[in-house]
Structure 1
């Protein structure tokens, strides 16, 4: 059931500003679905913290970072609708081929139940990712910063 944010929140997304798709875009999730979506339910995957966004990028990069990575800070305004999934509320959500997570995310996106969905991060269990539904009527209220380059610490790749 959708609830309403009672404060302004920030989240982060990493991508290549010169890439095929803009950083603040759901096309990648349509072509390459993630844990919480299918091609029929595009969404924008973000992280609640900058460090979690970096960890998510590292784990999906398999130790090799694509060139020209930048981040954006996304502002989720007060009054925006949201739902939350916890590690305890959806069984097996963290299994690699979890159809329950995909089905939940697809229903959430297609039913436009809220603008954002908080979900647990597999790579940082105490942190959350925030999924944004670009087809929700409140989507235009969500703003983002200009992109800034990421400066990776070389020790991450030793």
Structure 2
């Protein structure tokens, strides 16, 4: 895959606890508990292209419990930065567990610094995308985030 240059500004969303061990917009958690697209050697910041997808991603990883003190930030990725779009057809089994193939793909993308963002499909919301951000990429400092705002959970999502 070859990196391309954004011709427009993109937004994405990330949800986390502003009083947690790490800031919301931080990759430390991905090195402690790697996700589908990274290993401990390849820190990334997982975001979603839509707020609703960010909520679904948080729910699927939360084991059905109401996450306490969650806030969201809107991430702004300005035009002119580099991106890559993952093609699911190029890597059969990317969405299976264990996620060895996708972890290897993401680690290679991150460590080679092929682009500052990688757009990948969401497993939980297949028509939506997640946007991985490489905090070690030279363009990372151009990406900004909003002030955090509270997430208001509908208790019906948790059987209440």
Partner of 2:127: 126
Structure 2 matches for 1:11-90, cutoff 5 A? 11-90=12-91
Post-superposition CA distance 1:83-112 (Å, at most 9, x none): 011322221000011211000000000000
How much does 1:121 deviate? 0.4
- Which aligned runs of 4 or more in structure 1 are off by greater than 4 angstroms? none
State the TM-score, normalized to the length of structure 2: 0.97
Runs of at least 5 residues in structure 1 that lack an aligned partner in the other structure: none
- Determine the structure 1 residue equivalent to 2:146: 145
Counterpart residue number, 2:6:
5
Q: Give the corresponding residue for 1:111.
A: 112
* Number of residues of Structure 1 aligned to a counterpart in Structure 2: 158
Superposition deviation, residue 65 in structure 1: 2.4
Which SS does the other structure have where 1:103 is aligned?
A: helix
Task: Kindly provide the CA deviation profile for residues 5-63 of structure 1, in whole angstroms up to 9, marking residues without a partner as x.
Answer: 10001000000000000000000000000000000000000000000000000000011
CA distance, structure 1, for counterparts of residue 44 and residue 52 of structure 2: 21
| Structure-1 residue corresponding to 2:103 | 102
Distance 1:111 1:32 in 2: 21
Matched residue SS, 2:96: coil
Once the two structures are superposed, residues 100-136 of structure 1 have per-residue CA deviations (whole angstroms, 9 ceiling, x without a partner) of 1000000000000000000010000000000000000
